[in-house]
Chains A and B, each alone.
Chain A
């Protein structure tokens, strides 16, 4: 097990290295001068520009700049925001926590909706199966920001008393915080639940045709016991994997959803940073989210191997 974890993490390192190069070049590729961009919109003299350039180390060779930046990033220094002039890491962390909470709620919702519909679809067959699959194909075609916009529209038309844009911090009002995140989470969860639902259905159908389920049925175990102990348990393996792999979709989707529902998370921070051309912030978000996705992928692989003894990565 320890070997597996070490191996997976070791395999992750070169990719992470590449990710950091992409994040670095992305910022250097922007049109115009980086020093000029960091000065913002204010007019600035040539000497002042030269000072900024020296302070940022832009007079050094590119590879030195990269290594310097990487060393700082590794110690948690993600640069200084062009807009607020404060460390990006300090601004990013609280927003990451908000996005993390939103993603978690959305992930749970998607898992519950997905496994429930997938299970119903596989066990009840017939009309239920037909309906669930039809609805799933339709839902797959509705982007999450369209769902969110329609939710806001419906809420505005039919439930005007519902306050949907008032995000409150968790420490201020835990219950209000969670209920405030329910609608944004729902818009995120619907699309993801489709993937989970389809996978649950396929997994249950496959497990149901296995010999050991037939044996269980033959020796007269109750339907309920078979369902809970044989079907659900074994079908859950691919579901866990899929849910984990959907994290990238959830993180990407939260950018849009947070902007629509004005939730002060990482997505909204990215959106604001793009609008303000706050490049260090954009860079930090890109680097951080890719790292999170990579780590979760490793975690999913390990969980997978842990649940299912047949899986090996030798």
Chain B
């Protein structure tokens, strides 16, 4: 009876992984694939697609395709670094809160509630504005903003898993508490965490590009998808491709992680909330 959704989930996961492979290739081999240097200008500005410039050139004659590839690298590196930090901190906090419980749980969760009270994007703007828009601060800010979500997703299932018989059994034969938490609880809560991580990656792409769009992204001259979209707006009626390029790239990247999350949810049978 579960046959149908499970195969659909597998198709989605496979599709997501193929899309992800493409993104990873851009990060790893970007400078090799890009036909030009992202800052190299050529005579024709705002030109349409030609054999030399597949996606045309921008307002000062830089190759749009090359900038998309190199800009994607910047965007994706910030995204993955921020989510990696948020995931690590979220896992630790969620595991401690759920497993230890008591006042530790209460204290940490209330602090996370405070972060939750702010609209994500608004908090990100304020923190970046206060710290200054550098690559490092951007990563820290986004990690702070998304840690509470991941911590909650880890904590909830830990609360019930820690009462299961196998945990009690492990304890009765003298396994240490830390070992129980890591080896007998953590593996059982990993499914919802995977789904949420994938969704968080999609959200982070949104936040990173949006911050860059507002001029709070990584400093120029490094291109990134958000700043490219912002720069292109001025001349977009003359050269629609300069807008459509980064817009498509942003949508493709977030779609990758949404597809992956939806697939994982069905394959792992997670009834996760957002």
Which A residues are within 8 Å of any B CB, using their own CB? Answer: 14-16, 18-19, 22, 26-27, 29-31, 137-138, 140-143, 145-146, 149-150, 152-153, 156-157, 195, 248-249, 251-253, 255-256, 259-260, 270-271, 274-275, 277, 279, 282-283, 285-286, 289-290, 293-294
Contacts and interface: CB of A to CB of B under 8 A. Distances in A.
B259 interface: yes
A4 to B, nearest CB: 19
Given A26-B130, A31-B131, A141 B255 contact: yes
Contacts of B122: 251-252, 255, 270, 285-286, 289
Contacts of A26: 126-127, 130
A100 to B, nearest CB: 14
28 contacts: A18-B110, A19-B118, A22-B118, A26-B126, A26-B127, A29-B130, A30-B131, A31-B131, A137-B259, A141-B251, A143-B209, A145-B213, A146-B247, A153-B237, A156-B236, A251-B119, A252-B120, A255-B122, A255-B125, A255-B214, A259-B214, A274-B125, A274-B214, A282-B129, A282-B130, A289-B122, A290-B117, A293-B117
Nearest to B115: A22
Contacts of A249: 119
The B interface, classified by DSSP as helix, strand, loop or mixed, is helix
Contact of B247 (A19, A29, A150): A150
Contacts of A140: 258
Interface of B: 110-111, 113-115, 117-123, 125-127, 129-132, 202, 206, 209-210, 213-216, 229, 233, 236-237, 240, 243, 247, 250-251, 254-255, 258-259, 262, 274
Contacts of B114: 15, 18-19, 22
A149 B243 contact: yes
A153 B118 contact: no
A290 B126 CA distance: 12
A270 B250 contact: no
Contacts, number: 123
Contacts of B247: 146, 149-150
A137 B256 CA distance: 11
A186 B213 CA distance: 20
A270 B126 CA distance: 9
A248 B251 contact: no
Given A15-B114, A141-B254, A153 B240 contact: yes
Nearest to B205: A143
Contacts of A293: 117-119
Given A31-B131, A143-B209, A270-B125, A248 B110 contact: no
A279 to B, nearest CB: 8
A10 to B, nearest CB: 14
Given A143-B206, A270-B122, A282-B130, 20 more contacts: A18-B117, A19-B118, A30-B130, A31-B132, A141-B251, A141-B254, A141-B258, A142-B251, A143-B251, A152-B236, A153-B236, A153-B240, A156-B236, A252-B121, A252-B122, A255-B122, A274-B214, A282-B129, A285-B126, A290-B117
